[in-house]
Structure 1
Amino acid sequence: MNELDSSSGIPLYRQIKDILRHEIIDGSADPQTPITEAQLLDRFDVSRAPIRQALKELSVEGFVYRKQGKGTFPVPGSRVHRPVTVRSGALYQFLADTGLDPESTVTGVERVVPPTRIAQNLDLSKGEELLHFTRVISVEGAPLVEADVYIRAPKEFIPTGGALEERGSAFELLERQFGITLERAEHEAWATAASPRQAETFGVPEGSPLLVIETLFFATGGLPAGWRTAVHRADEFKYHFITGA
């Protein structure tokens, strides 16, 4: 039976990509077995062009990788493979686009004077307040990421927790309401062990490995615009990087 629907209006490469992506996510694709063009040509009965485009996009999104001289393999071990090309602050939408049906819970929305280290990194004046909130992103009911967020924004910018949950990114709301856009972001990442509180949040044993990523956001023009400390379950989350030789 043909797995593709040529009458759907969806490009063939997109249909192939979606089929392969779901197989990788649900674990039915063997990470030790290469995904070859010949195999896919025989399976889908299409030309090489949509096959190559599907594999290219899966590679960019971090679902497959190439081994020199051996072929293309599924990325094993986690449901989320975030490429560095994903726009900062857009993780929720990325997860939704990859079919993982994320849920966002936002708490503690308020204006506060941030800790000294964050104030220094953002070059704040003494006593300057930022919008602060905590966001937990879950997949299939299991917490995946907990983010502690501080945003430099006009005092009139007071989104509700519900609005932040619905949009998935506070920066999208900030851009829509005030025209403030992000220009770039700087990241630092390291491994840590789950504290008792983090173990409870993520439902993992105390001391389990976690991935911490701190991000300093800059608005257009170079003004420091925000700070985020995001803690990820290391067994469910990987970053995919492509660098020069």
Structure 2
Amino acid sequence: MEAITGSVVPLYHQIYLVLRDRCVADCDATLPLPGELDLARQYKVSRITMRKALDQLVQEGLVTRRRGAGTFVNPNVARQTLEQRRSTGLLDNIISSALDTSVRVISHARVAPPPDIAADLALPAGEIAVRTVRVRSLASGPVSHITTFVPTVIGDRLQADALGARPMLTLLEEQGVKVGHARQTMSARLADTGVASLLDVPVGAPLLAVRRLVLDADGLPVQWLQGLYRPDRYEYRMDLWRGGDEEARVWYQKDEVAQP
């Protein structure tokens, strides 16, 4: 698993990630992007923040500003980026995916986590943590059911309304958490009655199950997460490189991409 890099991700960079993905996905250069003010309103950020995000796209050559006409995608650069695209790190990808979806908070409460989760979070048996259950949706409908447990020392500072509007990792970092890296496993699972109704799938439908433990810069666990994803609306990709010496050539993983 690619390490999560960095500690605090500026808001303008979060917006830049989403806009970059949209520019790469839509290589049509005939129509301008929405105006700076309209984009700022759409993402509920200041115009200054939006301008910095757009400036970063201009610096990359992905978009061009035309005086009196607007900001346009450079199709050649967009297509090249799409062909050569590499993940910029797990944290950027998580934030990008989170900002590009809507969220409904199902529950947010203090509970005693199951023993295996308490052990992952290095909590004594019976100690309370903050559990949050959310459903993320695209325009086409629900895509994921996310359950997180966070130690109360930081989880008590998270508000349900904020969790419905912004990525949890971003909120944790704003509370002073310095994210170091994550351990992640993937498997398959069948939808039970509760999850099936929230994801709008039949009971027993196959789901992609992702379990992630996020640790801070000191190696202490700060978030346990389980994500259940509809495979028809979620795609997991990775790039593999051929490496090793002449006697033991192997495939190795350098970058990962997980997107709805």
TM range (shorter): 0.5 to 0.7
Aligned residue in 2 for 1:238: 235
Please give the residue correspondences for 1:1-245 in structure 2 after superposition, counting only pairs within 5 Å.
17-20=24-27, 53-59=77-83, 85-87=89-91, 90-91=94-95, 93-94=96-97, 96=99, 102-140=101-139, 142-154=141-153, 157-167=156-166, 169-177=167-175, 179-245=176-242
- Give TM-score scaled by structure 1 length: 0.63
Question: Within 2, Cα distance between the matches of 1:219 and 1:126?
Answer: 22
The one-letter amino acid paired with 2:109 is E
* % identical aligned pairs: 25
Separation (CA, whole Å) in 2 of partners of 1:194 and 1:152: 27
Q: Which runs of 5+ in 1 are unaligned?
A: 1-12, 22-49, 63-82
Alpha-carbon offset, residue 211 of structure 1:
0.3
Residue 61 of structure 1 and its aligned partner are, at CA, apart by 5.8
- Contact kept, 8 Å, 2:146 with 2:225, in 1: the verdict is yes
- Give me the whole-angstrom Cα distance separating, in 2, the residues matched to 1:225 and 1:236: 28
The Cα offsets for residues 146-172 of structure 1, whole Å up to 9 and x where unpaired, read as 0010012526833221111111x2232
State the superposition RMSD in angstroms. 2.9
Bigger mean CA deviation after superposition, 143-152 or 104-113 = 104-113
Three-state SS of the structure 2 residue aligned to 1:154 is: helix
Count residues in correspondence: 178
Which digits, 9 at most, give the CA deviation of each residue in 1:86-135, with x for residues without a partner? 417835x43545xxxx2101132122221001011222123322221101
Report the secondary structure of 2:153's partner residue: coil
Q: What's the CA shift for 1:15?
A: 8.9
In 2, the alpha carbon distance for the partners of 1:244 and 1:17 equals 23
CA-to-aligned-CA distance 1:174-216 (integer Å, 9 cap, x gap):
2212x11211111111122222332222112232221000001
